[in-house]
A and B are shown apart, each in its own frame.
Chain A
Amino acid sequence: MHEVINQAASFIHLDAMTILYLFGVGFVGGLVSGFIGSGGAFVMTPAMMSLGVPGLVAVASNMCHKFPKALIGAIKRAKYGQVDVKLGIVLGISAEAGVLIGAGIQENIKKAYGEAGSNLYVSAAFVVILAVVGGFVLFDAWKTYKGGNTDLEEKKTKLAAWVQSINIPGTMVYFKSMDAKISVLFTIPLGFATGLLAATIAVGGFIGVPSMIYVMGVPSMMASASELVIAFVMGLGGSFKYAMHGLVDIRLAMIILCGSLFGIQLGAIGTTYVKPYMIKVVMGVIMVIVLFSRGLMVPVYMSQLGIISPLAEGTMKLMKNVSFGIMGFALIVGAFIVLRAMWQGKRAERLATAREGLIHG
């Protein structure tokens, strides 16, 4: 049977400042999640740890705030016709399998190379994935912007067209977001990879959303909205697993949820004011900034493992703080772009309504 590690005795004391801090981080994380379908988790866990919360409790409590948040976000965006529930559930279940395997890999690395080895693996995975995927997403958004195609319907990539053209009898499923049938032999590995990544770097959406857009041909609005269904399915399973071990600090989870539900509603509303390529802009920008944050930590872990000559204690501390600061900055930049785009969209709508009023009046 499972081992119950009741951490209640080591749960931190909450004062007004801590509550406000968690509420604020929750709000910004929720805002970004409502818009791009994920994000925030990479800041939430270290933010809790900076308050003295043990690592596993921080991961567990973050997950327990993630699934109810994703649920509310998905319901909101479903009202705008942006959610493909079937795709979200299919990917979510295969992602759950990826989480289990990913957690196993993590455990083995930790056993073999210790805490620093595990951290190095996570950071290296972060850097490589964010550089490749984030760079590509941002480049794609930039191309759309420069080409003046922001108003045009998104074009399917050649890869997505190929994936949709493959017919494997007995495995084909129709998805409304693509308006096409694709084989589950494609969706299962993609969901699995999302889960694997979620278990490793805590942000499955960084691979889930781009793979839906570029590999399956899902429009970015629907991809980011359906990611919330994946996050709900994965988060619910993960939270239950952690709760079985007594690791969830429900107070932390609910306080973050308090802020993030304000944020996620706002982020979801924001998607109705922007052009689809803005999803890619926000996602790409956040991914590239976070890349620098994690990259900065690579030498720290390498020195702890003795791969490079040891760094001074002060230098390591500085690098850790700067890394955390850059992550917070990534989230704030993302939130700023969302709010700005929303504001501009709202202004354009107001002008259009006023013009209409003039014409008809």
Chain B
Amino acid sequence: MGSSQTQKKKPYLSALVWGTVSVALYIVLLSNQDLINANFANGGVYAFLPIAAAFLFSLVHGSFTGHFWTVMGVEAAKKHKEVK
């Protein structure tokens, strides 16, 4: 994993930026629970709210977790089996 000949630079900055945005999103979610519950569970066209939130969180938090493991030195095998 980390023992490559060409030492790649780890994405510390990306991890930090995505991580900060992710934490901010979760703070907003958890500190406005009543407001969010009241609007997101209204049904009908309000259904777009939870779906949009899920996409937003997956983009932000997904980018963070991806960089997080890279920073931790956990990466895909160098010569992983390519499946045709």
Contact = CB atoms under 8 A, between A and B. Distances in A.
Interface string A262-278: 10111001001101100
A274 B68 CA distance: 22
Contacts of B13: none
Contact of B44 (A4, A69, A250, A264): A4
5 closest residue pairs by CB, A with B: A68-B58, A4-B43, A243-B47, A272-B80, A246-B43
Contacts of B84: 179, 219
Nearest to A357: B5
A68 B69 contact: no
Nearest to A223: B83
Contacts of A8: 37-38, 40-42
B78 interface: yes
A138 B58 CA distance: 33
B50 A253 contact: yes
Given A68-B55, A82-B83, A2 B65 contact: no
The main secondary structure of chain A at its interface with chain B is: helix
Interface string A205-248: 00000000000000101100000000000001001100111111
B54 A65 contact: yes
Interface in B26-64: 26, 29-30, 33, 36-38, 40-44, 46-51, 53-55, 57-58, 61-62, 64
Given A250-B40, A250-B53, A80 B76 contact: yes
Nearest to B54: A68
Nearest to B26: A258
A265 B76 contact: no
A72 B61 CA distance: 10
Given A257-B57, A345-B77, A349-B78, A2 B51 contact: no
B50 A244 contact: no
A190 B70 CA distance: 37
Interface string A27-48: 0000000000000000000000
Is chain B's binding surface mostly helix, strand, loop or mixed?
helix
Contact of B54 (A239, A247, A273): A239
A353 B4 CA distance: 8
Interface of B: 1, 3-4, 26, 29-30, 33, 36-38, 40-44, 46-51, 53-55, 57-58, 61-62, 64-66, 68-69, 74-84
Interface residues of A, number: 59
Given A239-B54, A265-B66, A6 B41 contact: yes
A248 B40 contact: yes
B62 A250 contact: no
Determine which residue in A14, A269, A273 has the highest number of CB atoms from chain B within 10 A of its CB, and name it.
A269
Contacts of A81: 82-83
B5 to A, nearest CB: 8
Contacts of A273: 77, 80
Contacts of A346: 1, 77
B78 A72 contact: no
Contacts of A179: 84
9 contacts: A2-B43, A4-B44, A7-B41, A68-B58, A243-B47, A254-B26, A261-B64, A264-B65, A345-B77
A254 B54 CA distance: 7
B10 to A, nearest CB: 15
A246 B74 contact: no
A236 B51 contact: yes
B44 to A, nearest CB: 6
A75 B55 CA distance: 13
A13 to B, nearest CB: 9
A129 interface: no
Contacts of B46: 243, 246
A65 B58 CA distance: 9
Interface string A312-355: 00000000000000000000000000000000011001100110
